[in-house]
Amino acid sequence: MSLSSVSKETTSFSISLENVRATEKFGKSLSRLLKIKDVIALSGELGAGKTTLARAIISGLGYTQEVPSPTFTLVQYYDLKPVSIWHFDLYRLNSPDELLELDLDEALYSAISLIEWPDRMGHFTPEERLEIKLSFDQEEQKRHAILTGHGSWATRIREVQNAF
């Protein structure tokens, strides 16, 4: 694990995730730190573990049923007490303007937002966010994650590092 400060407003560190179980453990640890208005931006190649990580976060926040991938619905909503979760998959968006139809603004102000394929957001990308970029490691089961905190996440990211 290494920590580096990119600028005053961003801080990054990287971790190795040995297998799916490690990815799930990381997601559950991260879920304990989340609060309303938090945005987690999940990027990486197809199959890199974005949905696995999102499912672990949702489960860690208390959801006990199956968590479907929002690939075709574009968004799944989970009303958990005391917080709601919006899980977006923007892979099929043709334009950032389509986000208006998905009520992204409501999610950003009233819930935790998990956003897969955040590069599709364009100018709607929130300044306050934790980016998690997942990639395949040299061994097929392993994943590498680079976490970058933007805005208040630049300081909160140390909590994430300590929780894992």
DSSP symbols for the chain: -EEEEEETTEEEEEEEE-SHHHHHHHHHHHHTT--TT-EEEEEESTTSSHHHHHHHHHHHTT--S-----TTTSEEEEE-SS-EEEEEE-TT-S-GGGGGGGTHHHHHHHSEEEEESGGGGGGG--SSEEEEEEEE-SSTT-EEEEEEEETTHHHHHHHHHHH-
Q: Which has the minimum average pLDDT: 1-15, 58-72, 147-161?
A: 1-15
Average confidence (pLDDT) over 75-81 = 91
- Read off the pLDDT band of 8 (50, 70, 90): low
Element (H, E) at 138: none
pLDDT in tens, 88-118: 999 999 999 998 899 888 999 999 999 999 9
- Type of residue numbered 142: K
Instruction: Please state the domain extents for the chain.
Output: 2-163
- Read off the pLDDT band of 3 (50, 70, 90): very low
pLDDT of 5 reads 39
The CATH classification number of 2-163 equals 3.40.50.300
What is the pTM for the complete model shown? 0.90
pLDDT at 45 > cutoff 60: yes
pLDDT of 139 reads 66
pLDDT of 2 reads 36
Average confidence (pLDDT) over 20-41 = 94
- Read off the pLDDT band of 71 (50, 70, 90): confident
pLDDT in tens, 140-164: 678 899 999 999 998 898 888 887 7
